[in-house]
Amino acid sequence: MNRDHCLTERERGLWLAFIEASHLIERLLDQRLRVETGLGYGQFEILMRLDRTPGKRLRMSELADQAVTTKSGLTYQITQLEKAGLVHRGQCPGDERGVLAHLTEAGERMLDKLGPVHESVVREYLTGQLSTEQAEALAAAMCATRRHLRGQPPEDAAPVSCPGDRT
C-alpha cells in the first residue's frame, strides 16, 4: 500500500472517533426508544421526517433518500409503522406509480412520546457534553459535510439549523 495515500494520524483519529460516537449515540437512542415506547430509532426517524413535511406526507423514494436507507428497508419499516396505525400509505395524486407515506394522528401522538426520549439522549450524550463553541464547530462541520454529500452549495451563514439543507 502506498503510504502517500493514507489518512494522516489526525484524520484517522477523527474518523474513528466520529464513527464510534455516532454508533454509540444511535445505539443508546435506539435502546431507550425501544424500552420507553416500543419503537426503534429508524422508525422514530421516519415519523420525525414525515412530521416535518407539509401535509405530514412524503413520497416513499424521497423519504428513503432523506433517511439514507434502501427502498426495501424503508418499505419494511413503513409496513411495521402502518400495522401499528402510525403511518398510512397511499398513491400520489397524478402519479399512479408514486406512493406517499402519511403520518396519522396516532403517529403524531406517538411522536409526542418519542420526542422527549430523543431530546434527553441527545442532550445527555452529545450537546450536554460540548461547550457552545464546540457545538457550533460540530454543527458547522456536519452541515458542510452533509451539503457536500448531497451536492448542495456551501453556505457561510450560521450553521446550527443548516440553512439551505433539505431536512
- Cell readout for 79 is 409496513
167 — pLDDT class (breaks 50, 70, 90): very low
Amino acid at 155: E
**Pairing status of strand 95-103 against strand 87-92:** antiparallel
Q: Are 127 and 135 in contact (CB under 8 A)?
A: yes
**Pairing status of strand 57-59 against strand 95-103:** antiparallel
Residue 100 has pLDDT above 70, yes or no: yes
Per-residue pLDDT, averaged over 100-116, amounts to 96
Residue 42 has pLDDT above 90, yes or no: yes
Q: Are 97 and 60 in contact (CB under 8 A)?
A: no
Strand (E) or helix (H) holding 14: helix 9-37
Q: Against a cut of 0.85, is the pTM above it?
A: no
Q: What is the pLDDT of residue 87?
A: 98
Instruction: Give me the helices (H) in 52-131, please.
Output: 60-67, 71-83, 105-125
